[in-house]
Amino acid sequence: MELTEEQLQTAERQLKDLFPQSQQIYGYIALRNRVKSDPIHVIVDSWPDYVILCKPHYRRVTSLTSVDESHIDLINSFWKFGEKEHSVRMIQNMILHFPSGCVLDTEGHPVAWILTYPSGAIGMLFTRPQHRGKGYAKALVGSAARRLHAQGLAVYCFIEEENALSYGLFTSLGFTEPSYRAAWFVFNSL
């Protein structure tokens, strides 16, 4: 049986009294009680006299797929330059007509994505904060680059000068810095 939150608190107190023999299992339980995101299920054979098993529980990502139209509002909400009407249409066009990539969690929710601009540049790369550090951005960039290259297209991106994290990612994947700077302008409707 898996321990409840209250039983975990009790087990922590009991295990602390059994130091130093219980130190490792105490550490797992104490962290589990304090860090709710810690992926450990604590299972016992019986209660209150028990043998404890700590079973890691990782939320697996199930698929690398293309971005779907149902993800437009989510992508727009995280995009730094998102302006409701204009950017929603732009993102929809990118999803419908150009290569994209998306990492979904087990419930089918996007946790990371990359799109291709109409100019052919890959971009709008984003990983939701709670899913960072797992290699999703690297996998998405690699997938997008392979797809574009297989179609005989140039593989490139634009990165804001102050975005050191993206710059580091792309250069680690073999992208090189051009000898020029690009600027992006949007004209008001006349």
Average pLDDT over residues 124-145: 92
Q: Does 164 score more than 60 pLDDT? A: yes
Name the band, by pLDDT with cuts 50, 70 and 90, for residue 102: very high
Q: What is the rounded distance in angstroms from the CA atom of residue 43 to the CA atom of residue 187?
A: 61
61-172: what fold?
Answer: Aminopeptidase (3.40.630)
Overall pTM surpassing 0.75 (yes/no) = no
Q: Does 86 score more than 80 pLDDT? A: yes
Q: Are 107 and 99 in contact, with CB atoms under 8 Å apart?
A: no
Query: Pseudo-torsion of CA 91, 95, 96, 101, nearest 10°?
Result: 170
Residue 124 backbone phi and psi in degrees, to 5: 55, 25
Nearest CA-CA partner of 122 in 141, 137, 146, 105: 141
Find how far residue 59's CA is from the centre of its chain: 12
- 152: helix, coil or strand? coil
Q: Are 26 and 20 in contact, with CB atoms under 8 Å apart?
A: no
Q: Does 77 score more than 80 pLDDT? A: yes
Average pLDDT over residues 172-184: 82
pLDDT at residue 37, as a whole number: 47
Share of the chain above pLDDT 70, in %: 88
- 80: helix, coil or strand? coil
Taking only the tens place, the pLDDT of each residue in 45-64 is: 878 787 777 766 555 555 88
Q: Where are the domains of the chain?
A: 5-56, 61-172
